[in-house]
Amino acid sequence: AEASYSPVRLQEAEARIKILSAEDIDRIERNLIAGLPATERTYNRETMRLALADYAAIGPAELRANLAWFLKEIIPAAEEVGARMCIHPDDPPFSLYGLPRVVSTADDARFIVGTVDSPSNGLTFCTGSYGVRADNDLIAMIEEFGPRIHFAHLRNVTREADGSFFEAEHLE
């Protein structure tokens, strides 16, 4: 996972850890790994390391190939029943725990809709997930992918200068 962060970011993290108590570190760790989305399983430091080890050999190219395989399998079935599938972008849209991301940019969206050219193969346009990346031009993405956006997930997020982000008030 260290390869996911710049040397400056790693130094900042080390400096912060030095001033935290053992209880603070434990609380942060539990918040990060105890309950991950899409699972009822809970993790501790060791079980999380073991789970991540299963994916150590999977880089962006392999993950993208797996996604392409999945789309080629599922989209014909969606076409048969008139369903429109839409994939939510990665949240967060940058590497986390050393795991690659493949649904974070306009290039990723272009790959997805181009892999299986079908109205049944579409996107969830999450303004939060796409919007926290400074390199994503949301208006241009809507113009390019509009017909393939099957669901809009409107989120109000604030991006900090260091790339971190948080859910902002909806009525500010």
Q: Are 105 and 94 in contact (CB under 8 A)?
A: no
Residue 78's contacts (CB-CB under 8 Å, 6 or more residues apart) are 84, 85, 118, 120, 121
**How many domains is the chain partitioned into structurally?**
2
CATH number of 169's domain: 3.20.20.150
Residue where a domain terminates, one of 13, 37, 54: 54
pTM for the whole thing?
0.82
Same domain, 36 and 82: no
**pLDDT(4) > 80:** no
Which pLDDT score, from 0 to 100, does residue 150 have? 98
* 114/132 same-domain check: yes
Q: Is the pLDDT of residue 1 over 70?
A: no
* 112-170 confidence digits (pLDDT tens): 999 999 999 999 999 999 999 999 999 999 999 999 999 999 988 888 887 788 888 76
Tens of pLDDT, residue by residue over 63-88, are 999 999 999 999 999 999 999 999 99
Residues 65, 144 within the same domain: yes
Predicted pLDDT at 130: 96
In tens, the pLDDT along 27-65 reads 888 887 766 666 777 788 888 888 889 888 999 999 999
The CA distance from 29 to 137, in Å, is 34
What is the domain range of residue 170? 58-172
The answer to whether residues 67 and 112 touch, using CB atoms and an 8 Å cutoff, is: yes
